[in-house]
Amino acid sequence: DDLDKLEDRPPVLTIMGHVDHGKTTLLDYIRKTKVAASEAGGITQGIGAYKVLVPIDAKLQPCVFLDTPGHEAFGAMRARGARVTDIAIIVVAADDGIRPQTNEAIAHAKAAGVPIVIAINKIDKDGANPEQVMQELASIGLMPEEWGGEVPVVQISALKGEKVDDLLETVMLVAELEELKANPHRGAKGTIIEAGLHKAKGPMATFIVQNGTLKRGDMVVCGEAYGKVRALFDEKGDRVDEAGPSIPVQVMGLNIVPIAGDEFEVVGSLVVAREKAEARAES
């Protein structure tokens, strides 16, 4: 529709790969946090969504990172992460190489038709063999750029922060080529990336807005759930009034817990929201 109102939006970047290859550690370095150390069993069990200002050419560029689990049990989350992303960052540990969930993540990124950037991680470790990983990549049709192919590959140590700047620069270059736009001046639409029941807040869902702007007070329908947005929270748990294109936000006010992966949209009234939700429940 309203093409003239399209504006630049931040890139959504999903980090995927085999279990323990260093995805959360990479995001911790980028965000200056310590999430990985606090995870039960050292395993990521949900999708984390974070707004980050990345310094590029002395300017701060907003972008959104999604952290996905690498454990084999969480394939649905990897698929969901790939579906809402603009670029897939596939992390491969240099001492372990391409493993089953690496292949799975690559397949999800290909199915979603999104560009892939490879981060060969843990290059600081004894037994790291980045050349071997490059060969494995080439053998599955992901020819590294430095070998004449089309896949950007950056060798990093997420733990030490080595070459993470190079990785971010590479990713932002790929994002620029995508010319990512949306219209922030309309009712929001997007995808539910996480949902659950909170003891005090009731049904809660993390939305990622893909077009428009979601505002407190909006009426939303998401799958068979609906409601009036009573409060919005960012990833730190701080209340916010609205969330524009690409921005992840936690939503309070739904009647039931929606299904992660379903889409949401803002509608004109609570009556319409309920009718749409009920029609979906019956079909």
Write down the least CB distance from residue 17 to ligand GTP, Å: 6
104 in contact with ligand GTP (CB under 6 A): no
Residue 250 CA to residue 230 CA, distance in Å, equals 11
Residue 134 CA to residue 222 CA, distance in Å, equals 42
158 in contact with ligand GTP (CB under 6 A): yes
155 in contact with Mg ion (CB under 5 A): no
Nearer to ligand GTP by Cβ, of 99 and 189: the residue is 99
Helix, strand, or coil (residue 169): helix
DSSP codes of every residue in 52-85: EEEEETTEEEEEEEEE---SGGGHHHHHHHHHT-
279-to-210, 255, 258, 274 alpha-carbon distances in Å: 24, 15, 15, 8
Options 24-32, 209-217, 233-241, 242-250: segment touching Mg ion (CB under 5 A): 24-32
Write down the least CB distance from residue 231 to ligand GTP, Å: 29
22 in contact with ligand GTP (CB under 6 A): yes
Residue 47 CA to residue 26 CA, distance in Å, equals 15
Options 40-48, 165-173, 206-214, 218-226: segment touching ligand GTP (CB under 6 A): 40-48
Nearer to Na ion by Cβ, of 20 and 28: the residue is 20
* Interacting positions 107-146 with Mg ion (CB under 5 A): none
Q: Are 234 and 198 in contact (CB under 8 A)?
A: no
Q: In the set 18, 21, 23, 108, which binds Mg ion (CB under 5 A)?
A: 23
Residue 104 CA to residue 130 CA, distance in Å, equals 20
Write down the least CB distance from residue 122 to ligand GTP, Å: 4
Nearer to Mg ion by Cβ, of 29 and 264: the residue is 29
DSSP 111: H
Q: Which residues bind ligand GTP (CB under 6 A)?
A: 17, 19-25, 36, 42-44, 69-71, 121-122, 124-125, 157-159
